[in-house]
Structure 1
Amino acid sequence: MADLSQFPITSRWPAKDPSVIQLYAFPTPNGVKASIALEEMGLDYEPHLVTLSDDDVKSDAFLSLNPNNKIPAIIDPNGPDGPVGIWESGAILLYLAEKSGKFGGANGTDKAHITQWLMWQMGGLGPMLGQLGFFTKFAGKDIEDPRPRQRYLDEAKRLLSVLDGALEGRDWIVNDYSIADMAIAPWLNALNFYGVKDDVGFDDLKNVPAYLDRFYARPAVDKAKNIPARPE
């Protein structure tokens, strides 16, 4: 049985089975990237609900694993050199793809392109849609100046156009289904939550809507989309 006592986070979120990957997350677009990957790859794991409240993500326990106070994070008791903690959703996807040998690309070219699209999501699609959500649904909506929201609306439309073009004639962003799709699609689904699908012209896109439908039709995705389960 693995000893995870070196990770203080386990004092607050104790592991029932310390021999499997420990997932600390909340079912946001970034959070479900990890649960989807774990389900798709068939890796044994134990989910722990870490809410977005300061009491959780800014607690000493969580900060001991992720000093950047963002979900998701994992502990792999069977890391390459012993137990290892990983944070940042993109880094987790890359780590799990390497560990499992799945969804990271069948050859060097595909691996490079998958990483390319993963970085595109991490640096572009996620942050821009998140900011659009802030200025549409959350506190930013009360700002009278229309320019901040318009800036992120225009950028969201541009990024969606890039994705729509890249999906022409293909089911997945890089040949076979990969961790790049696991990163991109949950953020597309966030457009519903933010209430901006009409604003960005989502249904007018040629390829993206069907791509999102294909993604959520996968059994592993359907199972993982609410792991760890939101409190009722």
Structure 2
Amino acid sequence: MADTFAPFTAEGARPHEAPPQRAPAPPAELRFYLTEEYHVPNGTLLGFWLYLMSDCLVFACLFAAYGVLGRNYAGGPSGAELFDLPLVALNTSFLLLSSITYGFAMLETQRGRLGATQGWLAVTGLLGAAFLAVEIYEFAHLVGEGAGPQRSGFLTSFFALVGTHGLHVTFGIVWLVTLLTQLRRHGLIPENKRRLMCLSMFWHFLDVVWIGVFTFVYLMGVLP
């Protein structure tokens, strides 16, 4: 009887059969790499908080200098003779109101209302400009009376502290105008919302510093 079984090859198939097809290997995993710089979530806010802390040190040094030199009149006028408290109170109200209007702008930002956000920011900028106008008038009046920063240690520290704060307000207004331009061009995109938040922290920080200036410099300065 003839052998009806054909031998198997090493692959396990009969000689007259094609070897079994192997399944194709899965494609290698594709990996994509960022072609631009990676932005850490909330990294901007953290960096801005660090900047505000460094600015706190600057104002702390200026307050300390005024605390040391605030009674060194060198035979010149004192704060009680120079300061006009009603004018300073009006100036303080301008800055505090600007902080409130900026808060309204942030509320409108959260609601997605671009026009209302721009309107409240414009009011904030006008109040900040009014604050600067009154401060410049005060400085000009003091210099006109011969009470410039070179007159005494008291006036040197006064102009340094109040002038530095006014310079910060000036930069804040420039920043605010720039943001209004960005909002008009691009709307309430996430980047603009982040910038608005940073400016909000900066603006409120200036209000807190001014409360210290108003109390420590003006109110205590009129005391005998």
* TM-score normalised by L of structure 1: 0.32
Taking structure 2 as the reference length, the TM-score comes to: 0.33
The structure richer in helix per residue is 2
Structure of greater Rg:
2
Higher-strand-fraction structure? 1
